[in-house]
Amino acid sequence: SAQLAPRVMAAPALPDPQSFEQVVALIGEKREVGLQMDVQRFVRPVAFKPGAITYESVQGAPIDLARRLSGRLKEWTGRTWLIAANGQGGGETIIEIDRRKRSEERAEVEADPFVIAIMSAFPGAKIGEIRTTAAPVELPVIPDEGDEED
């Protein structure tokens, strides 16, 4: 009788973040909320390459942030990560980027002629939260049964 070859179960592929943004997304996927908040709030990226992050630390950052980040990334990716908090001249933190984008969006909305007209028509009115709506979904045209030619 024929024997079946034993099945080899492939181990799930380990994540391999290729950018700082992918590292932050991985932290979110792993539901490490405290670490994610610390990285978003206190890390100004200076240099990134897979396996190494250099950043400028924002005042008030936890002393053990680099160690915690390195340990979690090693656990999740299976490789050693060099995390250095001694960089200078880092970019914006993720929270700073988000605040800047919201401020730019608000300024754009406030400069819109239609919004200016509404605000002048209703003195004392204030612009509340600004939300971006999803683009409308284009549905395919389904022909009626009577439209089909035989």
Convert the pLDDT of each residue in 108-131 to its tens digit.
999 999 999 999 999 999 999 988
Output the pTM of the full model: 0.69
- How much is the pLDDT for 149? 56
* Block residue for tokens 């028509």: 121
- How much is the pLDDT for 13? 87
Distance in angstroms (rounded) separating the CA atoms of residues 34 and 73: 15
- How much is the pLDDT for 95? 94
The answer to whether 53 touches 85, Cβ cutoff 8 Å, is: no
* Block residue for tokens 């605000």: 119
DSSP state letter for 147 = G
Low-confidence ranges of the chain (pLDDT < 70): 1-11, 146-150
Distance in angstroms (rounded) separating the CA atoms of residues 70 and 83: 6
Distance in angstroms (rounded) separating the CA atoms of residues 18 and 82: 14
Cβ burial, residue 53 (10 Å; 0-12/13-18/19+): buried
- How much is the pLDDT for 11? 67
Pairing of strands 82-84, 43-49: unpaired
CA distances from 115 to 107, 126, 131 (A): 11, 11, 15
Q: Reduce the DSSP state of residue 136 to 3 states and report it.
A: coil
Angle between helices 113-121 and 94-110 (to 10 degrees): 70
- How much is the pLDDT for 123? 92
